[in-house]
Amino acid sequence: MAAQVHAFDDELGGLDGLATAALIRDRQISRREVIESALRRATVVDAELNLVAVLDEGAVEAGVVAGPFSGVPTFVKDNTDVVGLPSRHGSEGLHPKPASHDAAITTALRRSGAVVLGKSRLPEFGFNASTEFATEPPARNPWDPDYSTGASSGGSAGLVAAGAVPFAHANDGGGSIRIPAAACGLVGLKCTRGRMPAAVLEHVLPVNIVGEGVVSRSVRDTAHLLAHIERRVRGLPAIGLVEGPSTRRLRIGLVLDSVTGTPTDDATRAAVCETAALLTELGHDVREMAVPVDAAFADDFTLYWSALAAAMAGLGHRLLPGLDRSRLDGLTRGLAGHFRAHRRDIVGAVARLRRSSVVYEEALAGFDAVLTPVTAGTTPRLGYLSPTVPFEELLDRLVAHVAFTPVNNVSGSPAISVPTGRTPDGRPVGVHVMGPRGGERTLLELAYELEQARPFTRLGTPSEAAAATAG
């Protein structure tokens, strides 16, 4: 195992967001000192891990906003606008002008008091499950730089795991919050559709699969951010602030293998089975259940994913002025070609995907939550999911790997990744808990319970990190 890369030697690096905000509020440290320290940490880890798309040194002059995370540093994913910074969307063919305004989720993060230090890296348009590029260096995992950070929120996950910031913005169209959270040993909640502020594009998708959120090192940071942000979003009954486990015992479904037929690898299966055993010890009723999607789901989702790539390849220069389509990577071009070859099937695929929310809710009848792997295998080495791999081979690898998370994007249901497992060589393995629409409270309560029963291992000095998170 290669040497780990982190910034936990800086005391502030081990604190979660709420603990950091408390120090500032109690005047034990100034907001400026916190931001300058985070910029230093980000610079140090980025030099080895390639996680930052753009760094904003001017963040030290940002005004103070009252909120639960007042003065806490964060990053925004580089497919989301931050005023004054470019949004490159992970594409080597795009060199945009600085954004003229903040995206809705950026505004929401600022209203929580968070200070945006810059933009984190993602693969081209978020289509890949690894933050890798055609010619630029990949984002490297701080647990072992030979491995992927996952994707598409891979830059954000790497920065949080390495101790640069306590949480960072992420978004999820097929697992892009939960997969990098699992790869980097973090908490990653994908909310019910409509819970978080929506990006403009989400209003025009035939099936809105994209949701905003964060990756964090503690359950409480995710819970407090959700409670603060959801107050300004209309449409769903509020979850409110979840502050710990529930005493209610649950009926939890267990799914070990996906609808694709790809067997779950040994380390992933072990992590899920150990978590199921822990939940049983804690008094929950855990029992196996069927995969909550139709057999055609994987093919339908792949075609829809391909349709989005085809739209970017064909119309991206209109949506993103200055895009050089000749420099799109092999995955984007390959997906676009896949759509063209199967475009006759898209109407049926969209109809079935729209119905999947009904199939999902029917499958969950009688269960409060469902425990599954996040991906079919542990985080791959860099190169395995590179956009330079021949397309058909890469597509097969991606479909097999990203086998569990897309169902929640299509059905609009919530799911959370929590880092309860480890590989034999010590890298993190996340497990995935899915819930019915509107079920975030149950997922967060379970995540708190798992965190308390078996504290999550972090880079650096685990005991110190755990103590810092406890505040």
Q: Assess contact for 120 and 156: CB atoms under 8 A.
A: yes
Tokens encoding 360: 């999902």
* Residue 4 domain flag: no
For 271, the domain range is 11-470
Residue at token pair 């491995």: 147
Q: Assess contact for 268 and 375: CB atoms under 8 A.
A: yes
Active site residue 156: no
**Count of the separate structural domains present in the chain:** 1
Q: In Å, what is the CA distance from 423 to each residue of 314, 427, 432?
A: 41, 5, 16
Question: What pLDDT is stored for residue 1 in this prediction?
Answer: 65
Q: Span 216-237, mean pLDDT?
A: 96
Question: What pLDDT is stored for residue 317 in this prediction?
Answer: 77
pLDDT value at 377 more than 80: yes
pLDDT value at 467 more than 70: no
Count Cβ neighbours within 10 Å for each residue of 416-426 and write b for 16 or more, e otherwise: bbbbbbbbeee
Q: Span 100-118, mean pLDDT?
A: 97
pTM for the predicted model, two decimal places? 0.96
Question: What pLDDT is stored for residue 11 in this prediction?
Answer: 86
Three-state SS string over the chain comes to CCCCCCCCCCHHHHCCHHHHHHHHHCCCCCHHHHHHHHHHHHHHHHHHHCCEEEECHHHHHCCCCCCCCCCCEEEEECCCCEECECCCCCCCCCCCCCECCCCHHHHHHHHCCCEEEEEECCCHHHCCCCCCCCCCCCCEECCEEEEECCCCCHHHHHHHHCCCCCEEEEEECCCCCHHHHHHHCCEEEECCCCCCCCCHHHHCCCCCCCEEEEEECCHHHHHHHHHHHHCCCCCCCCCCCCCCCCCCCCEEEECCCCCCCCCCCHHHHHHHHHHHHHHHHCCCEEEECCCCCCCCHHHHHHHHHHHHHHHHHHHHHHHCCCCCHHHCCHHHHHHHHHHHHHHHHHHHHHHHHHHHHHHHHHHCCCCCEEEEECCCCCCCECCCCCCCCCHHHHHHHHHHHCCCCHHHHHHCCCEEEEEEEECCCCCEEEEEEECCCCCHHHHHHHHHHHHHHCCCCCCCCHHHHHHHHHC
Q: Assess contact for 305 and 331: CB atoms under 8 A.
A: no
Q: Which of 130, 153, 156, 176 is catalytic?
A: 176
Spatial distance between the Cα atoms of 470 and 69, rounded to a whole number of angstroms: 16
Q: Which of 37, 87, 152, 156 is catalytic?
A: 152
Q: Assess contact for 325 and 313: CB atoms under 8 A.
A: yes
Spatial distance between the Cα atoms of 299 and 227, rounded to a whole number of angstroms: 36
pLDDT value at 462 more than 90: no
* Residue 62 domain flag: yes
Residue 406 pLDDT level (bands cut at 50, 70, 90): very high
Residue 10 pLDDT level (bands cut at 50, 70, 90): confident
Task: Say which range, 57-61, 109-113, 445-449, has the weakest mean pLDDT.
Answer: 57-61
Residue 469 pLDDT level (bands cut at 50, 70, 90): very low
Q: Span 285-294, mean pLDDT?
A: 94
Question: What pLDDT is stored for residue 464 in this prediction?
Answer: 36
Q: Give bridge partners of residue 287 from the DSSP assignment.
A: 253
Q: Which of 77, 120, 218, 386 is catalytic?
A: 77
Active site residue 97: no
* Residue 5 domain flag: no
Residue 468 pLDDT level (bands cut at 50, 70, 90): very low
Residue 29 pLDDT level (bands cut at 50, 70, 90): very high
Spatial distance between the Cα atoms of 225 and 228, rounded to a whole number of angstroms: 5
| Integer Rg of the chain from CA | 20
pLDDT value at 466 more than 70: no
* Residue 6 domain flag: no
pLDDT, averaged across the chain? 95
Residue 316 pLDDT level (bands cut at 50, 70, 90): confident
Spatial distance between the Cα atoms of 339 and 391, rounded to a whole number of angstroms: 13
Residues 6+ apart with CB under 8 A from 78: 53, 54, 87, 88, 89, 90, 119, 120, 121, 122, 155
Question: What pLDDT is stored for residue 58 in this prediction?
Answer: 93
> pLDDT digits over 170-224, tens only?
999 999 999 999 999 999 999 999 999 987 777 789 999 999 999 999 999 999 9
* Beta strands 369-373 and 251-254, pairing class: parallel
pLDDT > 90: what percent of the chain?
Answer: 90
Q: Span 14-35, mean pLDDT?
A: 97
Count Cβ neighbours within 10 Å for each residue of 127-143 and write b for 16 or more, e otherwise: bbbbbbbbeeebbbbbb
pLDDT value at 471 more than 60: no
* Residue 249 domain flag: yes
Q: Span 25-45, mean pLDDT?
A: 97
Q: Assess contact for 340 and 396: CB atoms under 8 A.
A: no
* Residue 2 domain flag: no
Residues 6+ apart with CB under 8 A from 413: 192, 193, 357, 360, 361, 407, 434, 435, 436, 437, 439
The CATH number that applies at residue 27 is 3.90.1300.10
Residue 470 pLDDT level (bands cut at 50, 70, 90): very low
Active site residue 357: no
